[in-house]
């Protein structure tokens, strides 16, 4: 799929009508848009990738020291193979090769940071750049105070993603990340970097991010070879709060063959837990909504998020 791209300059000058119409068409018809010419984006992504690789090379037992205590509701820190999604046959499949490191952006007392590697500095610098750029995009799309989403009350949640190389080509799960929608408002995504035996390689033909266009039926690969372009997708809370005007983006990540690993970074836009909405959206039929709504049919962001975590958190087989 051809990616629609607008420039950072056009985003800063929202009176530039043609660019805005282009942006709106991209997000409404496809569910993804690229932003080019963001100052310092590429250098910050490079610095982050270096730190993420450094961290990923630490021994497992060291990385596990930074695991969140999910039992008390923590999600910050490192984890491997913690999510599952339904495959095409309707069976839950664990993303067993997907490692994550979560932290709030900007920094927050709840964040855990490794002592062995300075992951914190490049993670936060890249995260804040994406967070601030995306707010311009949210504004341009009308996702702001006008729909009850004050930008001061938005939370950025960063996620380091390290997709481990596939040692067994017959592995049952063809995806590094199974098909799903993000549950938040919006998601910023940097282009992925690939490595074989420690050397950077191009994205393999078969691998990478695929999305199902909002107005399409089949998953299509996103051409994201230009490392200077920041991507944005729509999350389910963005769909809820816009009454389905903007639809969430269904996406997946296909594995590469031949011992290749993949690194990327996602920045999720969350509302604050007490943001209350009462939308007219098909997502109100979803059990996450139906089971957590208040008597008058409204729901808080916190409940929506908690129900989403519960659904997609892999359960240990009995």
Considering beta carbons, is residue 182 or 236 the nearer one to Fe ion? Answer: 182
Residue in 79, 95, 166, 182 binding Fe ion, rule: CB under 5 A? 182
Contacting range for Fe ion; rule: CB under 5 A; set: 5-13, 39-47, 177-185, 271-279: 177-185
- Name the phi and psi angles at 59, rounded to 5: -65, 150
Considering beta carbons, is residue 76 or 182 the nearer one to Fe ion? Answer: 182
Question: C-beta of 318: minimal distance to Fe ion in Å?
Answer: 27
Under 8 Å between Cβ of 125 and 156: no
**CB contact set of 209 (below 8 Å; sequence gap of 6+):** 189, 192, 221, 222, 224, 231, 251, 252, 253
Question: C-beta of 233: minimal distance to Fe ion in Å?
Answer: 8
User: Rounded distance, CA 1 to CA 30, Å?
Assistant: 9
Considering beta carbons, is residue 114 or 188 the nearer one to Fe ion? Answer: 188
Task: Tell which positions 247-306 bind Fe ion, by CB under 5 A.
Answer: none
Contacting range for Fe ion; rule: CB under 5 A; set: 33-41, 133-141, 174-182, 201-209: 174-182
Q: What is the DSSP letter of 285?
A: G
Contacting range for Fe ion; rule: CB under 5 A; set: 35-43, 153-161, 180-188, 223-231: 180-188
Under 8 Å between Cβ of 156 and 267: yes
10 binds Fe ion (CB under 5 A): no
Contacting range for Fe ion; rule: CB under 5 A; set: 108-116, 175-183, 280-288, 308-316: 175-183
Contacting range for Fe ion; rule: CB under 5 A; set: 34-42, 145-153, 181-189, 277-285: 181-189
Under 8 Å between Cβ of 127 and 267: yes
- Quick check: bond before 106 cis, omega within 30? yes
Question: C-beta of 308: minimal distance to Fe ion in Å?
Answer: 11
Helix (H, G, I), strand (E, B) or coil at 140: helix
- Tokens representing residue 214 in the block: 């909002």
Considering beta carbons, is residue 114 or 156 the nearer one to Fe ion? Answer: 156
Indicate the residue whose CB is closest to Fe ion.
182
H-state helical runs in the chain: 8-12, 17-29, 41-56, 60-64, 120-140, 236-241, 287-290, 301-312
Question: C-beta of 182: minimal distance to Fe ion in Å?
Answer: 4
Q: Which residues bind Fe ion (CB under 5 A)?
A: 182
């Amino acid at each position: 799929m051809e990616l629609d791209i607008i420039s950072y300059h056009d985003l800063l000058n929202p009176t530039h009508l043609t660019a805005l119409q282009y942006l709106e068409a991209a997000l409404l018809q496809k569910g993804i848009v690229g932003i080019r010419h963001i100052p310092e984006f590429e250098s910050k992504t490079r610095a982050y990738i270096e730190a993420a690789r450094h961290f990923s090379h630490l021994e497992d037992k060291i990385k596990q020291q930074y695991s969140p205590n999910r039992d008390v509701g923590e999600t910050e820190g490192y984890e491997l193979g913690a999510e599952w999604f339904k495959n095409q046959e309707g069976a839950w499949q664990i993303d067993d090769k997907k490692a994550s490191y979560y932290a709030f952006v900007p920094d927050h007392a709840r964040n855990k940071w490794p002592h062995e590697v300075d992951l914190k500095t490049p993670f936060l610098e890249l995260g804040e750049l994406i967070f601030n750029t995306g707010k311009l995009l949210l504004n341009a799309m009308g996702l702001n105070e006008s729909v009850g989403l004050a930008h001061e009350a938005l939370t950025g949640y960063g996620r380091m993603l390290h997709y481990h190389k596939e040692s067994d080509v017959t592995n049952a799960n063809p995806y590094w990340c199974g098909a799903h929608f993000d549950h938040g408002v919006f998601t910023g995504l940097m282009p992925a970097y690939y490595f074989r035996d420690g050397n950077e390689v191009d994205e393999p033909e078969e691998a990478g991010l695929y999305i199902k266009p909002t107005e399409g039926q089949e998953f299509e690969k996103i051409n994201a070879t230009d490392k200077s372009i920041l991507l944005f997708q729509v999350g389910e809370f963005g769909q809820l709060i816009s009454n389905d005007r903007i639809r969430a983006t269904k996406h997946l990540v296909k594995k590469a063959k031949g011992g290749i690993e993949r690194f990327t970074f996602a920045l999720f836009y969350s509302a604050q837990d007490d943001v209350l909405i009462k939308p007219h959206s098909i997502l109100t039929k979803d059990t996450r909504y139906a089971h957590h709504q208040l008597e008058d049919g409204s729901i808080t962001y916190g409940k929506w998020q908690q129900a989403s975590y519960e659904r997609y958190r892999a359960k240990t087989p009995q």
